[in-house]
Amino acid sequence: MFNEIYELVTGPLAWIGWGIFLLGSVYKLASLWSLAKKKDTSSIYYTKAKFGLRSIAQWSLPFGTLGWRETPSVTVVTFVFHICLILVPIFLSAHVILWEEWFGVSIPALPNHVADVMTLLVIAGGTFFAWRRFSVPEVAFVTSGHDWFVLGVVVAPFLTGFLAYHQIFNYEVMIVLHVITGIAWLALIPFTRLSHMLVSWYSRAYIGSEFQGVRHCKDW
Amino acid sequence: MKKPVFDRKIEDIGLETGTSRLTPEKIQETIQNVLASETGAKLKVYHDTCVRCGLCSKACHYYVSHDGDPTYSPVGKVVQTMAVMIDKKGKVDADFIYRAAQIAYTECNLCRRCIHYCPLGIDTGYIMSMVRRICHKLGVTPQYIQDTAHSHSATMNQMWVKDDEWIDSLLWQEEEARDEFPDMRIPLDKEGADIMYSVIAPEPKFRTHLIYQAGAIMHEAGADWTMPTLHGWDNSDMAMFSGDFEIMGRLKRDHFERAQKLKVNRIVMGECGHAFRSVYDQGNRWLGWADYPVEVVHSVEYFADLLRTGKIKMAQKVKGPITIQDPCNIIRGRGLMEDLRYVAHAIADEVIEMTPSLEHNYCCAAGGGVINCGPPFKNVRVNGNKAKADQLRRVKEQGVDLCLCPCHNCHGGLEDIIHSNELGIDLKFIGDIIYANMVKTKAVEE
Amino acid sequence: MKKIIPALLAMVLVLVFMLPAFGQEDIVELKDPAFTAPKRPAAVFKHDEHNELAQIDDCTPCHHEDVDEEGQFIEGDPDYKCADCHTVEKGNGTPLQLAYHKMCIDCHTEKKAGPVACGQCHVK
């Protein structure tokens, strides 16, 4: 029974998940681009690579902008959270083995204890964000069900992955949950607020160009 | 957490009559039309990707001044207005529109300070101006600002100034000035002049001495300048803020075409912020120009140039420290902070900066059309800017008695803030100080 | 006599070689000393129990040396160590870890029986 379920989630379901993620992302970007060409031509016109990259570089710097300086706790957590969130799924040793076994791609792996700490940091970061959604008035006021759902989707694969790795609770159940939540995480990127991963590079570059290019003023 | 309720409805005859005429069908149709035809990927991306982190809150003077009331944060204003309109596909009621209009017109100055706070680069000012656009199309606008838009539409100036009154004001100021500068002229409609000087309509209406002062400075600097006698002389643009983009476009076209008809090299505009925004940012785009078709030089740049090149020399500097108000539309909007500093240091002994300053300075809470919404909303902007009062109080404690304030809206806003907080700080335009303290080689001996 | 000596020798040899085979009864995990710094607990593997359950009589495919022209494993000597051919570091052939993983998981996947996910073998 387990073998069938495992094969289903790591086989067809995973392909579907990756397919939705990749095709959905292409669709999202393409449809936004064609809409922008129709309705936001001035925005496209003013967007310049030089200013855009400058803006992205500046905002990639912790405490490099006024916004990052004003709420230091959020800045630290945001950076740590996102760095771990991206590195762990790619470079976790268990995943590196799968990249090799399934796709013949071999990449270096994070030491297990490092990946373990990074996973805990993602969970801790998610907990911090959840705390903000509950207790910080300006965040609570604007938080809707969607935000909770997205936060849950993002943290779930890390939580289940952590429990599976340490074989806490039933391993078989946990590993299947881990695969399912991981796939959901991928597949939902193009269709939720997680799409900021895809498009915010451009909105950042655009506003950076508006400020530096048109308004002669830094946007950080 | 219990969601705060909106308990600050302000009675305004424009908003009331406007909403009384609404039907659910009209509301939905209008919202859907604006969303479909006038917005695109930009608004969609902002709506879809804002992760509701709340980082923008601290950017907003309204939020800061209301002790962290989340309903005043930039994203808080979005979730009370545009986000609902989009999510409900326009199915909102008249009360909602009233609230949305009050928020968008009077609780956001479109100052764009929040840009410095959003990692994702979301332009809340743009979202709020699209809310205003919808309210304008629904006919729900505060009465006073709508009146200025009507004036723009009927007279091509903001203050119902009639053609003869305009010319009369110029001739009057010329006559006044000639007592001091016997050879001074305000050259009218001089074709091929280097500079067309344009002002906002409140100058001839109730700050006429500013025209006198500008004339005196131009005269002293030996500028080849002119002022038009016909419409197009007013560079202001309240329609841009009321959401009446059609009128905005007409006004800008008129202003630029006046300069083109006079065949001038450039337009120099008086110390106004929003008028500048409308030539380099919004009005020009509506008309399809990437930039302005005739070069536009703001007073701050022009004065800096006159002082740098020695065309104007200061006979004396202001004694004691002054501080600087950074108007959004010329600083965050056009990067004139260095020129403004140059001027400030050239005309005063000492400059004490506000904290924060430059492009991070707080808005005056009067700009973006808020002061133009009139008396019903005066307390909104005065109570909504304790942040500015605190900034001013801090420099006052360091001995500042004078604030350099090169923008009409900032003047109006800061004046009320200073008065209501009893701060005892004088506000001056750059022109006030240069005129008063420059070397007057062409004036009569006293 | 001349026939007995080789026969005895053969018996002795068989006995000698059977000792490790008897020893295999004790195999409960695949703790390959070639892995000097293992990142996971050794995989649980009860040799005889596994073969009984899986009804395996042949030593191939697990114990193999090379493949024939048709790509089939050639029966190998169980006395050889996997690491004798499969190096830990990436070399010409299949690396040791990958060899173990593929040998177990591929078969389990095909037979729809036996552990396939990491923690099922590498039990903490």
Contact assignment for A167 to C117 by CB distance below 8 Å:
no
Write the pLDDT tens digit of every residue in A1-14.
899 999 999 999 99
Residue A76 pLDDT > 60: yes
Q: Average pLDDT, stretch A177-181?
A: 97
Distant-in-sequence, close-in-space partners of A114: CB < 8 Å, separation ≥ 6: none
- The pair of three-digit structure tokens given for residue B203, joined into one six-digit string: 């100058």
Residue B87: CB atoms within 10 Å: 14
The residue among A84 and C77 whose pLDDT is bigger is A84
Supply the pLDDT for residue C8. 64
Nearest-CA distance A143 → chain B (Å): 6
Supply the pLDDT for residue C70. 85
Supply the pLDDT for residue C9. 65
Determine the Cα–Cα distance for residues B46 and B56; give it in Å rounded to an integer.
14
* β-bridge partners, C43: C30
Residue B151 pLDDT > 70: yes
Determine the Cα–Cα distance for residues B366 and B414; give it in Å rounded to an integer.
8
Query: How far is CA C112 from its chain centroid?
Result: 20
Determine the Cα–Cα distance for residues B275 and B388; give it in Å rounded to an integer.
23
Nearest-CA distance B280 → chain A (Å): 8
The residue among B202 and C12 whose pLDDT is bigger is B202
Write the pLDDT tens digit of every residue in B21-80.
999 999 999 999 999 999 999 999 999 999 999 999 999 999 999 999 999 999 999 999
Q: DSSP H helical segments within B113-187, as ranges?
A: 124-137, 143-155, 163-180
The residue among C17 and B442 whose pLDDT is bigger is B442
Q: What is the pLDDT confidence band of residue B272, given thresholds at 50, 70 and 90?
A: very high
DSSP B195: E
Residue B282 pLDDT > 70: yes
The residue among B445 and B232 whose pLDDT is bigger is B232
Contact assignment for C108 to A171 by CB distance below 8 Å:
no
Residue extents of the structural domains in chain A: 49-214
Residue B225, SS3 per DSSP: strand
DSSP B364: -
Residue of C101, C116, C119 lying closest to A164 (CB–CB): C119
Q: How many domains does chain C have?
A: 1
DSSP C27: -
Q: Does B52 touch chain A (CB under 8 A)?
A: yes
Say which CATH number the domain at C105 has.
3.90.10.10
Contacting B residues, span 94-123, partner chain A, CB-CB under 8 Å: 115-123
* Count, residues in chain A: 220
Pick the CATH number of B314-437 from 2.40.128, 1.10.10, 1.10.287, 3.40.50: 3.40.50
Contact assignment for B79 to A142 by CB distance below 8 Å:
yes
Mean pLDDT of chain A: 97
Q: ω before A108 within 30° of 0 (cis)?
A: no
Q: What is the pLDDT confidence band of residue C75, given thresholds at 50, 70 and 90?
A: confident
Contact assignment for A101 to C101 by CB distance below 8 Å:
yes
Nearest CA in chain A to B276: A215
Contact predicate A122/A88, CB 8 Å: yes
Among B381, B394, B391, CA closest to B420: B381
State how beta strands B402-404 and B426-428 pair. Answer: parallel
Contact assignment for B117 to A66 by CB distance below 8 Å:
yes
Contact predicate B376/B12, CB 8 Å: yes
Stated as kind and residue range, the H or E segment containing C108 is: helix C96-111
Write the pLDDT tens digit of every residue in B189-226.
999 999 999 999 999 999 999 999 999 999 999 999 99
Stated as kind and residue range, the H or E segment containing B320 is: strand B318-324
Determine the Cα–Cα distance for residues B425 and B402; give it in Å rounded to an integer.
5
Phi, psi of B199, deg, nearest 5: -130, 175
Residue of A32, A136, A217 lying closest to B332 (CB–CB): A217
Contact predicate A215/B334, CB 8 Å: yes
Q: Average pLDDT, stretch C20-43?
A: 79
Determine the Cα–Cα distance for residues B222 and B430; give it in Å rounded to an integer.
19
Mean pLDDT of chain B: 96
Residue A115 pLDDT > 90: yes
Residue of A93, A97, A167 lying closest to C124 (CB–CB): A167
How much is the ipTM here? Answer: 0.96
Least confident of A105-114, B53-62, B382-391, C56-65: C56-65
Supply the pLDDT for residue A129. 98
DSSP per position, B217-262: HHHHHT--EEB-SSTT-B---THHHHT-HHHHHHHHHHHHHHHHHT
Determine the Cα–Cα distance for residues B359 and B365; give it in Å rounded to an integer.
15
Write the pLDDT tens digit of every residue in B84-104.
999 999 999 999 999 999 999
Residue with tokens 């904290």: B355
Contacts of A108 in chain C (CB under 8 A): none
Determine the Cα–Cα distance for residues A179 and A163; give it in Å rounded to an integer.
13
Fold classification of B13-141 is Fumarate Reductase Iron-sulfur Protein; Chain B, domain 2 (1.10.1060)
Range ranked top by mean pLDDT from B69-73, C13-17, C120-124: B69-73
Write the pLDDT tens digit of every residue in B225-253.
999 999 999 999 999 999 999 999 999 99
Nearest-CA distance A85 → chain B (Å): 16
From residue B150, alpha-carbon distances to B15, B232, B377, C116 in Å are 16, 16, 19, 75
Range ranked top by mean pLDDT from B170-174, C86-90, C97-101: B170-174
Supply the pLDDT for residue A140. 97
Buried b (16+ CB within 10 A) or exposed e, C9-41: eeeeeeeeeeeeeeeeeeeeebebeebeeeebe
Least confident of A43-47, A48-52, C62-66: C62-66
CATH architecture designation of domain A49-214:
Up-down Bundle (1.20)
Q: Is residue C50 part of a domain?
A: yes
Residue extents of the structural domains in chain B: 13-141, 152-306, 314-437
Determine the Cα–Cα distance for residues B153 and C87; give it in Å rounded to an integer.
84
Residue B436 pLDDT > 90: yes
Q: What is the pLDDT confidence band of residue C17, given thresholds at 50, 70 and 90?
A: low
Write the pLDDT tens digit of every residue in B317-361.
999 899 999 999 999 999 999 999 999 999 999 999 999 999 999
The one-letter amino acid code at C101 reads H
Neighbours of chain C (3+ CB pairs under 8 A): A
Contact assignment for A144 to B52 by CB distance below 8 Å:
yes
Query: How far is CA B71 from its chain centroid?
Result: 24
Q: Does A164 touch chain C (CB under 8 A)?
A: yes
Percent of chain B with pLDDT over 70: 99
Supply the pLDDT for residue C93. 85
Q: Average pLDDT, stretch A197-211?
A: 97
Supply the pLDDT for residue B5. 72
Q: DSSP H helical segments within chain A, as ranges?
A: 2-10, 12-39, 41-46, 49-59, 66-70, 72-91, 93-103, 112-135, 137-140, 145-165, 171-188, 196-209
Contacts of A216 in chain B (CB under 8 A): 334-336
Determine the Cα–Cα distance for residues C105 and C111; give it in Å rounded to an integer.
10
Q: DSSP H helical segments within B59-123, as ranges?
A: 61-65, 74-80, 82-87, 94-106
Determine the Cα–Cα distance for residues A109 and A91; give it in Å rounded to an integer.
5
Supply the pLDDT for residue C7. 67
Q: What range defines the domain where residue C39 resides?
A: 25-121
* β-bridge partners, A110: A92
Phi, psi of C44, deg, nearest 5: -70, 130
Q: What is the pLDDT confidence band of residue C73, given thresholds at 50, 70 and 90?
A: confident
Supply the pLDDT for residue C90. 84
Residue B146: CB atoms within 10 Å: 26
Write the pLDDT tens digit of every residue in B368-388.
999 999 999 999 999 999 999
Contact assignment for A171 to C116 by CB distance below 8 Å:
no
Contact predicate B418/B392, CB 8 Å: yes
